[in-house]
Structure formats: C-alpha cells, structure tokens
Amino acid sequence: MPTIKLTRPKLNVGEKIYFGALIKGFFLTMMHAVKSLRGKSYGAEGLASSGLGVTMQFPEQRWDDHMPEYYRGAPTLVTDEQGRERCVSCQLCEFICPPKAIKIIPSEIPSDDKWAKVEKRPFEFDIDMTRCIYCGMCEEVCPEQAIYLRKDYLITGTSRAEMVHDKKKLYEIGGVRVGLVNKWNELK
Amino acid sequence: MSDTSPATAELKLPKDIAAEKGMVNVQIDGIWHQFPKGTRMIEACRKAKVDVPYYCYHPKLTVPGNCRMCLIQMGMPPRLAPGQDPTYDENGYQTIGWMPRPAISCANSIAENMGIRTTGELVEKCREGVMEFLLINHPLDCPICDQAGECRLQEQSVGFGRGVSRFVDMKVKKPKNVDIGPRIRLDDERCIMCSRCIRFMDEVAGDPVLGFTQRGTHTTLTVHPGRLLDNNYSLNTADICPVGALTSNDFRFQMRVWFLKETPSIDVNCGTGTNIVIHTRGDTIHRITPRQNDEVNSNWMPDSHRLNFHYIDGDSRLTDVLIKEDATHRPAAWPEAIAKTAEALSQFDPSKIAIIASARMTNEELFLVRALAGELKTDQFATVPREGENDGLLIAADRNPNTTGAKLVWNSSDPSASLSAIREGVRNGSIKALLVLGEDLTAEAGFTTEDLAKPEFIASVQLLAGATAEASDVVLPGAAFTEKRGSMVNLTGRLQRLNRAVEPQGQCRDDWEILRDLAAAVSGNKPDIFLIEDLFKKVAASTPAFEGLTLSKIGHLGTVVTETGYQIPLLTNERARAAAGIING
C-alpha cells in the first residue's frame, strides 16, 4: 500500500491561540439569535416553523403537507379501481426485504370467486414495522404494483405485536391505486 | 499416395485411435473431444460441459426434437471429389466445412471429425428466434406460477429473450387451471408443447393418458376422454415439465421455490430406497422430489411415497415424553423417563423381556438395539415384516426400507423370525415386559389391543399417537426420517444415507440417542457415543459388509455393500431401452 505523507497546515500565531475563532463563533450564534427573534431564520418557511427559529410545534403542527412526493413512509398494500387486491403473494418482497420484515402465507382463490382467474392471493400478509427500514425495495420489486410506501410515518404501538401490520391494516392505510396493471382482465 | 513419406503413413490418425476404442472425435467450440459412437450431440456437449439450452429433450425419454431450442451449428469435412484423397492438418484432423444452417443437437448423433458450434451469430439468432416464438402465447403468470424460480423458460428468456414482445395480436386462449387428475393441475396456456409428460406417461409409467389435440398455435395438452391422470407416477410429470403447465396440487401455492432449502436424503416407504431431495423452509417440509440415481430410481419416484410426509407435522405426531400414571399419560422429562424404563426393565427376568424393533430404523439404530438386547441379556428381539405389492416399477414388495441392513447388522438371515414367538409369548403371558421401537404393534405386527393390555410393562419409541403409544407405560418420542441422520441398505444391497432436513419437533430426539441412553441406564455406565459418525464407525467395525466405510465415504449416491440379486424393474426397463438405442441416458 502506498504511504501518503500528510503535512499539517502551517498556523500563524493568531490561529494558534484560537481566540479569534471563538469570537467569530460567538458572533455567528448571536447573528442567528437575532435573526430568529426577528422571525427571519433560514428555511423557516420551508419547514413550517411555528415560532422562534425553525422549530415546528409537533404534534399540534405536522409537516405532512411539506413532504416531498418521493417520501418513503410505511409500506402498504393497495387495491385497484375494481376493488381487487393487487397482491398475488408472489413473495418477491419477502425475498428482497433486507431486514426480513415481511411474512406472507399464500392461498388459492376459490373458483367461485370473482377474481378466480388470478388464482392466488395472500392469506396472511404481515409487515413487522419494528423491523422495516423504509428502504422501498418491496415497492421496487413488486411485479404487480401492489405494495407502495405511503407517507405515513407515525407508526407507534404499545407492544411488539401491535407494531406488526396485518393484511387488513395494510389495505386500510394503502387505499386504492388506479391504472398500471390490467393483465388480470378477462380478455388479457 | 506416392508423395506421403513412410514415416507419416505409419503414424496413426486421431480417427483411427478413436475408432479402436469405439469412439469418435468431435470438435465442440474449437476443442477436440472423444465420445462413444452413437452419442447424441446434446449429450456430447453436456459431457464437454458446454451449455446447450433445451426443453423437450430428456436423457431418459425418446427424442421428438420439437422444441427447437437446442439448435447448434454443425460441420463435417467437405465431401471429396471423385479420386480425391482426404487431407489432414498437423493434428491429424480434416478441415471442417460448416453448414450454413442450424441443426438440432438432441436428435442427431455425432460422427467422426464432426464440428459443433454452440456460440456464434447463427446459433444465438436461432435461440432468440425460438424464444420469441415460445413467448408469443406464454402468459405473464410468473408471479402466481409455482414453477417460477425453477422454470426453464424463465431462465432461457433471461439469456435469450427480448425485453418486449413484438407480437401485437391477442394471445391464444386455452384452458387454465384444469383438473386433470387428483394430484396434478394443468394450465394449458403455459404449456410449450415439449411433450415430455406425454412421453413419460407412455414410456416410463406405461399409462399413456396424455396427448395433444388441435393443431398449430391451438395445440392443447389434454387427458384421454374419460380418463384421469391418476397414475401413481403422475407427479413426475410436474418435475419434468420445463414450465408451469403441470404443477403439483399438494405443493400448489405453498411456498416459492427460491425459499426452499434442499437436503439430499432417501425415501423410507419401501425397500427400493428411492433417492430424494427434501425441500424445507425453516422447520416445515414443503415437498419431496426424486433425486437422480441411475442405480436406484433413475429420475423418478412414486406419488404415494413422495406425498407421504404430511404425518411428520400432523396432528397425531407425538412431541412429548409421556409417562403413564393411573391410566393417563403425563408429560415428563427425558432423564426421568429413561431412568424409569431402565428400572422397570431391570425388575424382570431377561427371559420375560422382548424387544420389537423396526426395519424402518437405520443401521446405527439397529446396532444399538442389539447392544441394548445384550445389556438386557435377552435374545428375543425382532423386526416387523411389512409386505405389499411390487408395482413393477419402483415400489418393492418389501415395504421396509432397511430389511437388508437389519440382516447385515444383526447378522441374521431373517431379522423378523422371532416375532411370532414374541407375539405368542405376550399372549400366553410368558413375556411380561415389551420394548417397542418405532412400530405400532396393532398394524403389521398382528397384535390386538387386548394383547397390548397383557404385558406388565411396555415402553415404546413412537412417532405417532396410536394403540401402542396408548398402551405404553413410557412413551419416548422419536425422530421422523426427515429429522435424523443415519444409513440404510436397500434391497439391491446399496448402503445409502439419510440426512437431517429439519430439527426434531418438540421434545423428540434422535432414536439412536434414546437407545444409547437406555442401554447406558440399563448397564449403569455413562453414554460413550456422542456423534453419529462415531456410532457408524462402531457399526462398521462389527459388520463385515461395512468394513472400511464411514458415513461420509458412503456418498450421496450410496455404496454397494452386498449382492442380493434383487433387480429394480424400472431400471431393467430403462437399461433395455438404453441398450436398444431408444434413449441416451
């Protein structure tokens, strides 16, 4: 391995006693203090500041409206415009999930069901939110566009069991997504 | 020729050297190889470790050559003009004249000085073209298809497929989710018409119920009217189906194959000892598939044996050590149960103790049974014979997997000889204590529930709840065949290994550990074997047939340890077909 020799920067006397830097820091702090008192903190508007500085008064105030489109919150399951659950339990998300947060038990759709042509759907679909790292790989890997990371970020619970989102809860948060997959149409 | 120097004339050309051995020289992707005469080009490529994709070809079936996926470029020395002599290069080969069109490698045999190209523009364009044709009507079912992950079409389409279909018309509609038999589901849209299943049912299973109807793009796989695909070998068609057209009902939507851990082991439902792969995820067994062993089961296995694993985590599985007190069983701990059994047995005169073992036990366990009988000073121990019908293919009449092993390990010509004497002894009261190992006595052993009430003490190693477990004073839960390691000898005298695919459930323990502890408790010594490998060494030391073997030396395909003269009918058929040149495998 090549050795790289680093030379320390040459400091003059003023820099060596570092008193000047302290004063400089002090004035910087005071400048921001004055700015915040005048309500002119940098970025206060963008972060929806509700008082001094950039602090938002959570939970009375939320930054939900300020979240970007690409925000990755809780993973959820979605239904399509006809009310069909999009997930066919191919288990690719379970496979790709880095912290192994997803557990799926597949089942067959009975032949008298409206969507019997799809043949397969999840019997159980659990996402353990204590494990989820919001990486979005499940959304990316899904061949049926059935799993989406929504903007929900307040995932709380009083027990570990409560932190596991089951199929019902996932559809409840997920809601409906329109378009994209129509290959299970009778004509297709 | 006059200008050939005598020295060169005496030099043997490669074709002559090969011909002496009955071989021919073939150049595959620029490298010369020698193969036996009559080998098919695709087999030659496989032996040369050159990949040729295919769907319809199967080494154990005839070659219809209908998928066209194995197209390669072929070349032969140019035909000589009248009176022209062949010329040879410095290595002694003739120049290859490459044909400008492809040939299928599965249906053509190799010839002397032949050239095969499995790469190059021609071959690659052919493969891409064939893939595009196959995918025109193939549905986008991969997310719901059980074959996904082990689908040849999926694999080849990664290699040779296009990202997007150029076909603008509607896909052809065919029957989906068709119930064609009790164990098999058919999806005709996924079928790529390779006809492997049709040939298997006709040639190997001898029950030609499958066939194609319609023509062209509408070709449909179907069963003969009024018939079902209900043959006991039907699930093999799902194994050889290169796509998800035929899938197993039992495994349907259970688990995606990429999650499954594969453990090589052997089947224990009959004396054939079919080689299997156990597919598990966590502690759940999801399916069992046959493993190729051309000396035992070829590539096949009967459905009845394949599906006989659900009892392992079924409702009647015993997972607790039980001790009977006041006519009811209570859960107990291992040391207590072992001590109680040893103490109870020691109170009886050796002539009043009998052991009924099972030829479903491994060699190691049977060895310990004999050791235990020695400690108890009884010579009344026997296995239970289990006879069925030979189906003329793979299922042997002897439904015990280790009868030959019992004969070798116990050094007896009939390990079940004293069973009737023991049964009589129990009935007339001369046998007061019974140790039952892995058998339900009310089944093949011929005991009745009244008989089981007669002995003063019964201890049993049991897998499932039943009359014997009910009558036992001490019930010791044993391990199922998927949960233990060990070795067995099949009817042809081949020593084969069982491997542990899942952990024993609940309190269950390996049978050999139970027997070791029992023997130690009876003798008052401490157990001295802690590894199955060490136990096998002891077995090998006392069994002449196993001399010099260790568990690892047996290998995945087994080792022949004795000659029994037994022939597996399916292999006899297969060898006759191979000898007649019908098949290549």
* Residue A124 at interface with chain B, using a CB cutoff of 8 Å: no
State whether B466 and B432 are in the same domain.
Answer: yes
In a domain, B534, yes or no: no
- What pLDDT is attached to residue A62? 80
CA distance B78 to A179: 61
In a domain, B574, yes or no: no
pLDDT band (50, 70, 90) for residue B2: very low
Write out the H or E segment, with its range, that includes residue B212.
strand B210-213
Smallest CA–CA distance, residue B252 to chain A, in Å, is 8
CA distance B61 to A128: 49
In a domain, B570, yes or no: no
Which whole-number Å values give the CA distances from B241 to B46, B57, B188, B221, B311, in the listed order?
A: 20, 11, 12, 12, 28
State whether B319 and B253 are in the same domain.
Answer: no
Per the structure, the count of domains in chain B is: 3
Q: A86, A91, A109: best mutation site toward chain B, by most B Cβ within 10 Å?
A: A91
pTM value is: 0.90
State whether B162 and B217 are in the same domain.
Answer: yes
CATH number of A75-174: 3.30.70.3270
Q: B138, B142, B144, B252: best mutation site toward chain A, by most A Cβ within 10 Å?
A: B144
Query: Which of A108, A144, A187 shows the shortest C-beta gap to B143?
Result: A144
Interchain proximity B253–A108, CB inside 8 Å: yes
Q: A96, A118, A119, A123: best mutation site toward chain B, by most B Cβ within 10 Å?
A: A119
Smallest CA–CA distance, residue A62 to chain B, in Å, is 39
CA-nearest of B224, B225, B191 to B210 is B224
- Looking up tokens 């002897």 gives B398
Chain B residues touching residue A117 (CB < 8 angstroms): 176
Write out the H or E segment, with its range, that includes residue B183.
none
Query: Which of A107, A183, A187 shows the shortest C-beta gap to B253?
Result: A107
Q: What is the pLDDT along chain A (188 residues), one digit of tens a residue?
A: 789 999 999 988 888 888 889 999 999 999 988 988 887 888 777 766 766 777 777 888 787 877 888 899 999 999 988 888 999 999 999 999 999 999 999 999 998 998 888 999 999 999 999 999 999 999 999 999 999 999 989 899 999 999 999 999 999 999 998 876 667 776 65
The parent domain of residue B158 ranges over: 142-309
- Strands across the sheet containing B275-281: B261-266, B275-281, B284-290
pLDDT tens sequence across B127-175: 999 999 999 999 988 999 999 999 999 999 999 998 888 988 888 989 9
Nearest residue on chain B to A104, alpha-carbon basis = B255
Interchain proximity B143–A106, CB inside 8 Å: no
- The full DSSP string for B2-56 is TTS-HHHHHSPPHHHHHHHTTEEEEEETTEEEEEETT-BHHHHHHHTT-----SS
- What pLDDT is attached to residue A178? 84
Interchain proximity B148–A90, CB inside 8 Å: yes
pLDDT band (50, 70, 90) for residue B1: very low
Phi, psi of B486 (to 5 degrees): 160, -170
Is there a cis peptide before residue B385, judged by omega within 30 degrees of 0?
no
CA distance B66 to B68: 6
Under 8 Å CB pairs connecting chains A and B tally to 38
- The full DSSP string for B351-389 is GGEEEE--TTS-HHHHHHHHHHHHHHT---EE----B--
Contacts of B498 (CB under 8 A, 6+ apart): B265, B266, B268, B362, B481, B484, B485, B486, B487, B488
Smallest CA–CA distance, residue B181 to chain A, in Å, is 17
CA-nearest of B256, B241, B131 to B186 is B241
State whether B268 and B365 are in the same domain.
Answer: no
In a domain, B558, yes or no: no
- What pLDDT is attached to residue A1? 76
Identify the CATH number of the domain in which residue B160 sits: 3.30.70.20
DSSP state of B201: I
State whether B297 and B318 are in the same domain.
Answer: no
Contacts of B561 (CB under 8 A, 6+ apart): B408, B489, B493, B494, B495, B545, B546, B549
Chain B residues touching residue A91 (CB < 8 angstroms): 255-256, 259
Q: In one letter, which amino acid is B252?
A: R
Q: A84, A86, A90: best mutation site toward chain B, by most B Cβ within 10 Å?
A: A90
CA B517 and chain centroid, separation: 33
CA distance B199 to B212: 11
Which whole-number Å values give the CA distances from A166 to A100, B114, B297, B566, in the listed order?
A: 15, 63, 45, 56
pLDDT tens sequence across B69-97: 999 999 999 999 999 988 899 999 999 99
| Mean pLDDT, rounded, for B326-341 | 94
State whether B478 and B378 are in the same domain.
Answer: yes
Pull the structure tokens for residue A52.
Answer: 């001094």
Smallest CA–CA distance, residue B176 to chain A, in Å, is 8
- What are the strands, taking DSSP E only, across B244-314? 246-248, 261-266, 275-281, 284-290
Most confident of B78-92, B265-279, B571-585: B265-279
Write out the H or E segment, with its range, that includes residue B541.
helix B532-542
| Mean pLDDT, rounded, for B268-281 | 96
User: Domain boundaries in chain A?
Assistant: 13-61, 75-174
* Coil vs helix vs strand at B395: coil
pLDDT tens sequence across B9-49: 567 888 889 999 999 999 999 999 999 998 999 999 999 99
CA distance A93 to A145: 11
Chain B residues touching residue A119 (CB < 8 angstroms): 144, 177, 253
Interchain proximity A106–B254, CB inside 8 Å: yes
For residue B509, pLDDT over 70 is answered with yes
Nearest residue on chain A to B176, alpha-carbon basis = A117
State whether B157 and B236 are in the same domain.
Answer: yes
Phi, psi of A122 (to 5 degrees): -75, 135
Nearest residue on chain B to A108, alpha-carbon basis = B253
* Residue A145 at interface with chain B, using a CB cutoff of 8 Å: no
- What pLDDT is attached to residue A39? 79
CA distance B297 to B306: 13
pLDDT tens sequence across B232-244: 999 999 999 999 9
Pull the structure tokens for residue A151.
Answer: 């903007």
- The full DSSP string for B448-478 is -HHHHHSSSEEEEEESB-SHHHHH-SEEEE-
Nearest residue on chain B to A106, alpha-carbon basis = B253
CA distance B438 to B461: 5
What is this model's ipTM?
A: 0.84
User: Residue B212's beta-bridge partner residues?
Assistant: B221
Per the CB < 8 A criterion, the answer to whether B359 and B416 are in contact is yes
Interchain proximity B177–A89, CB inside 8 Å: no
Phi, psi of A84 (to 5 degrees): -80, 135
Per the CB < 8 A criterion, the answer to whether B381 and B345 are in contact is no
* Residue A117 at interface with chain B, using a CB cutoff of 8 Å: yes
In a domain, B150, yes or no: yes
Chain A residues touching residue B174 (CB < 8 angstroms): none
Interchain proximity B143–A111, CB inside 8 Å: no
The neighbour count for residue B4, using CB atoms within 10 Å, is: 9
Pull the structure tokens for residue B246.
Answer: 């035929």
Buried/exposed A6-45: b ≥16 CB within 10 Å, e otherwise: eeeeeeeeeeeeeeeeeeeeeeeeeeeeeebeeeebeebe
* Residue A106 at interface with chain B, using a CB cutoff of 8 Å: yes
State whether B435 and B396 are in the same domain.
Answer: yes
Query: Which of A92, A106, A143 shows the shortest C-beta gap to B253?
Result: A106
CA distance B262 to B259: 10
Chain A residues touching residue B170 (CB < 8 angstroms): 187
Identify the CATH number of the domain in which residue B504 sits: 3.40.50.740
Interchain proximity A118–B177, CB inside 8 Å: no
In the listed set B282, B309, B336, which residue is the last one of a domain according to the structure? Answer: B309
Q: What is the rounded radius of gyration, in angstroms, for the C-alpha atoms of chain B? A: 30
Q: Is B561 left (phi over 0), alpha (psi -120 to 50) or beta?
A: alpha
CA distance B489 to B407: 10
The neighbour count for residue B404, using CB atoms within 10 Å, is: 28
Pull the structure tokens for residue B459.
Answer: 């201890």
State whether B341 and B267 are in the same domain.
Answer: no
In a domain, B582, yes or no: no
| Mean pLDDT, rounded, for B200-214 | 95
* Residue A120 at interface with chain B, using a CB cutoff of 8 Å: yes
Chain B residues touching residue A89 (CB < 8 angstroms): 253
Residues above pLDDT 90, as percent of chain B: 88
Contacts of B83 (CB under 8 A, 6+ apart): none
- What pLDDT is attached to residue A180? 67
State whether B292 and B318 are in the same domain.
Answer: no
Number of helices (H), then strands (E), belonging to chain A: the values are 5, 5
Query: Which of B144, B170, B255 shows the shortest C-beta gap to A120?
Result: B144
Q: What is the 3-state secondary structure (H, E, C) of B295-353?
A: CCCECCCCHHHHCCCHHHHCCCECCCEEEEECCEEEEECHHHHHHHHHHHHHCCCHHHE
Count of all residues that appear for chain A in the document = 188
Interchain proximity B143–A92, CB inside 8 Å: yes
User: Residue B382's beta-bridge partner residues?
Assistant: B356
Smallest CA–CA distance, residue A145 to chain B, in Å, is 12
Nearest residue on chain B to A95, alpha-carbon basis = B259
* Residue B256 at interface with chain A, using a CB cutoff of 8 Å: yes
State whether B281 and B329 are in the same domain.
Answer: no
CA angle A159, A163, A169 (to 5 degrees): 130
In the listed set B275, B309, B343, which residue is the last one of a domain according to the structure? Answer: B309
Interchain proximity A143–B148, CB inside 8 Å: no
pLDDT tens sequence across B365-419: 999 999 999 999 999 999 999 999 999 999 999 999 999 999 999 999 999 999 9
Work out whether the CA dihedral B525, B526, B531, B532 comes out positive or negative. positive
- End-to-end Cα distance, chain B: 43
State whether B402 and B434 are in the same domain.
Answer: yes
- The full DSSP string for B99-154 is EEEEEESSS-B--TTEEEESSSHHHHHHHHHHHHHHHHS--S-GGG-TTTTS-HHH
CA distance B293 to B282: 27
In a domain, B132, yes or no: no
- Strands across the sheet containing B474-477: B328-332, B321-325, B474-477, B457-462, B433-437, B353-356, B381-382
Nearest residue on chain B to A183, alpha-carbon basis = B140
Chain B residues touching residue A143 (CB < 8 angstroms): 142-143
Contacts of A52 (CB under 8 A, 6+ apart): A36, A37, A39, A41
Q: Which residue has the higher pLDDT, B563 or B1?
A: B563
Chain B residues touching residue A188 (CB < 8 angstroms): 171
Pairing of strands B31-36, B23-28: antiparallel
Interchain proximity B144–A88, CB inside 8 Å: yes
Query: Which of A89, A94, A183 shows the shortest C-beta gap to B140?
Result: A183
Interchain proximity B143–A143, CB inside 8 Å: yes
CA distance A28 to B577: 92
Per the CB < 8 A criterion, the answer to whether B395 and B305 are in contact is yes
